[in-house]
């Protein structure tokens, strides 16, 4: 039965190859018709592969002779490399992907340094030491149905990266021997970064943004600020000039992560400064030290401005709903809001004076807006004066009418 099938297939291939040129891929044709699911799978997947679309065949990676329809297509004499062992995979892919000349015609923008990065990574180093559990090229990119990074279905597309890394790093059983946490993905999913990414902004950070992709390694404690600072420029600049920079470096504390956490980076709140129950400053600073005083000062500044804006907002809203014209005042109030935002940025100087510098003008603006709103509501009262005048004339008219009636009816009726 099998022989018959094989013969039939060979005849078809021969006939088919009558008009075919170098596009012939006997590997694909044969493997697609086999019974063993494990052998059929690569053939089935290859249709969607980016290498296939670039015109490459199985032989371009695995060697062998794609024109040969017999089993001799897979002979080492014809250059057949077979399935590479785990430790050999990076070199297997790098044969082309590290060759700039070879890669250039396919895609001028594709980097060719993946292997050199990989050997510096934790994965690469451990692979060299014989660890077969670490990630290699095919663990992240898949094999036989490799998609471009820009394809949303690719495991390395930004919104899929966390899931891909999580396949190992969130598997507690798999990671047991490495004694590192496995809650990073769970934490990350709660972060603002994950939220923004889920909303479609692919520039939002995922695992590889901070850890690197091919050269994946956790950033050193001293380089955290620089990593976060690639996007959060102002905060990094302010932090580096702040008293925390020296203090953290001395104590070996990981910069931004100390307060903001590394994976579960949530939206910060004004209650993080100051002396309240949510205060992060209080985890190190206690009553009496300079930091405590600063944190108190900062919290008070932000709190005052917040309150002033809320008050002004409420007054202006009431006036507007009542139909008073307050658009100018609302515009000005937006500036106060901006001062609050800048104040929150300046928290990272960890100096109350710096925060106050920005919030002070905001307070002025909020006060003025409040006054404008109160004036608008007052205008409503001014109308009562006009009303008073009208009411007086009405009362006079009514009195006149009443007296007229009395007058008419005091005469005896005819």
Partner 1 sequence: MSVPENPAKATQPGRRWVNILLGGGLAASVVSFLYPALRYIIPPPIAESTSRSVVAAKATELKNNSGKIFKFGSKPALLVRSADGTFRAFSAVCTHLNCTVQYRDDLHQIWCACHNGLYDLEGRNVSGPPPRPLEVYEAHVQGEDVVVTRSA
Partner 2 sequence: MSEPQRKTPSWLDERFGAGTIEEFLRHKIVPIHRHSIWYYFGGMTLFLFIIQVLTGILLLLYYRPTPNDAFESVQYMMTQVRFGWLIRSVHSWSANLMIFTAFVHMFSVYFLKAYRKPRELTWVTGMLLLFVVMGFGFSGYLLPWNTLAFFATKVGTEMAGSVPVVGKWFLIFLRGGEEVTGATLTRFFGFHVAVLPGLATCLLALHLLLVQQLGMSTPPGVERAIAEGREPRRSMPFFPNFLLRDMIGWYAALGVLGALAAIFPWELGTKADAFAAAPAGIRPEWYFLFMFQTLKYLPSKIFFVDGELVGIFVFSAAALVWVAVPFLDRKIGFGRTTRIFTGAGVFVIGYMMLFSWLALR
Burial string for 37-67 (b: 16+ CB within 10 Å, else e) reads eeeeebbeebeebbbbeeebbbbebbbbbbb
Query: Which one among 104, 150, 241, 404 touches partner 1, defined by CB under 8 A?
Result: 404
Q: Check residue 413 and report its DSSP letter.
A: P
Tell me: does residue 328 bind partner 1 (CB under 8 A). Answer: yes
Q: For residue 413, what are the CA distances in angstroms to 401, 406, 407, 408? A: 19, 13, 12, 9
- What are the strands, taking DSSP E only, across 246-325? none
- Least gap, CB of 375 to partner 2 (angstroms): 14
Query: Which one among 49, 151, 338, 360 touches partner 1, defined by CB under 8 A?
Result: 338
Contacts of partner 2 in 344-383 (CB under 8 A)? 380, 383
DSSP assignments along 46-79, one per residue:
GGG-HHHHTT--HHHHH-S-TT--SGGGG-GGGT
In terms of CB distance, is 102 or 402 closer to partner 2? 402
* CA 382 remoteness from chain centre: 53
| CA distance from start to end of the chain | 134
- Least gap, CB of 396 to partner 1 (angstroms): 4
* CA 260 remoteness from chain centre: 15
The CA radius of gyration of the chain, in Å to the nearest whole number, is 37
Of 40-48, 90-98, 126-134, 386-394, which segment contacts partner 1 by CB under 8 A? 386-394
Of 66-74, 145-153, 300-308, 325-333, which segment contacts partner 1 by CB under 8 A? 325-333
* Window 339-368: contact mask with partner 1 (x via CB under 8 A): --xx--x-----------------------
Tell me: does residue 399 bind partner 1 (CB under 8 A). Answer: yes
Tell me: does residue 331 bind partner 2 (CB under 8 A). Answer: no
Cα–Cα distance, 15 to 20 (Å, whole number): 9
Q: Which residues contact 264 (CB under 8 A, 6 or more apart)?
A: 187, 188, 190, 191
Query: Which one among 172, 233, 246, 382 touches partner 1, defined by CB under 8 A?
Result: 233
Query: Which one among 325, 328, 341, 378 touches partner 2, defined by CB under 8 A?
Result: 325
Q: If contact means CB under 5 to 8 A according to the sort of partner, which of partner 2, partner 1, none does residue 321 touch? A: partner 2
Contacts of partner 1 in 152-211 (CB under 8 A)? 196, 199, 201
Q: Which residue has the tokens 């590889």?
A: 208
- Cβ proximity of 370 and 311 under 8 Å: yes
Tell me: does residue 411 bind partner 1 (CB under 8 A). Answer: yes
Which residue ranges make up the site for partner 2 (CB under 8 A)? Answer: 320-325, 380, 383-384, 386-387, 390-391, 394-395, 397-398, 401-402, 404-405, 408-409
Which residue ranges make up the site for partner 1 (CB under 8 A)? Answer: 196, 199, 201, 231-234, 326-328, 330-331, 334-335, 337-338, 341-342, 345, 389-390, 393-394, 396-401, 403-404, 407, 410-412, 414
């Amino acid at each position: 039965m099998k022989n018959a099938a094989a013969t039939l297939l060979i005849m078809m291939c021969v006939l088919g190859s009558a008009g075919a040129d170098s596009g012939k891929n006997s590997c694909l044709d044969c493997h697609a018709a086999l019974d063993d699911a494990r052998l059929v799978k690569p053939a089935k997947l290859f249709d969607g592969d980016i290498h296939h679309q670039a015109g490459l065949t199985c032989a371009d990676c695995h060697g062998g002779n794609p024109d040969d329809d017999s089993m001799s297509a897979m002979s080492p004499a014809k250059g057949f490399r077979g399935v590479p062992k785990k430790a050999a995979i990076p070199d297997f892919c790098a044969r082309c992907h590290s060759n700039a000349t070879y890669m250039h015609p396919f895609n001028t923008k594709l980097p060719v340094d993946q292997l050199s990065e990989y050997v510096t990574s934790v994965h690469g180093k451990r692979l060299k030491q014989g660890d077969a559990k670490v990630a290699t090229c095919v663990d992240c990119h898949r094999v036989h149905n490799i998609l471009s990074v820009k394809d949303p279905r690719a495991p390395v597309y930004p919104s899929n990266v966390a899931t891909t890394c999580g396949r190992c790093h969130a598997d507690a059983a798999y990671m047991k021997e490495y004694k590192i946490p496995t809650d990073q993905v769970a934490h990350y999913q709660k972060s603002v970064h994950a939220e923004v990414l889920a909303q479609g902004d692919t520039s939002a950070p995922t695992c590889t943004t901070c850890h690197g992709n091919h050269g994946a390694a956790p950033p050193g404690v001293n380089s955290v600020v620089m990593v976060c600072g690639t996007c959060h420029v102002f905060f990094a600049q302010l932090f580096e000039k702040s008293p925390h920079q020296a203090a953290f470096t001395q104590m070996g504390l990981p910069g931004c992560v100390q307060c903001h956490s590394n994976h579960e980076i949530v939206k910060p709140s004004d209650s993080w400064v100051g002396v309240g129950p949510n205060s992060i400053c209080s985890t190190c600073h206690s009553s009496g030290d300079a930091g405590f005083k600063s944190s108190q000062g900062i919290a008070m500044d932000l709190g005052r401005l917040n309150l002033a804006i809320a008050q002004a907002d409420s007054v202006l809203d009431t006036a507007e709903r009542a139909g008073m014209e307050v658009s100018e005042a609302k515009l000005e109030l937006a500036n106060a809001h901006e001062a609050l935002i800048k104040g929150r940025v300046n928290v990272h100087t960890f100096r109350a004076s710096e925060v106050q510098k920005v919030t002070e003008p905001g307070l002025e603006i909020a006060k003025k807006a409040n006054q404008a709103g109160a004036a608008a509501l007052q205008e409503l009262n001014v109308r009562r004066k006009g009303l008073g005048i009208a009411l007086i004339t009405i009362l006079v008219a009514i009195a006149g009418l009443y007296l007229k009636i009395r007058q008419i009816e005091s005469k005896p009726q005819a």
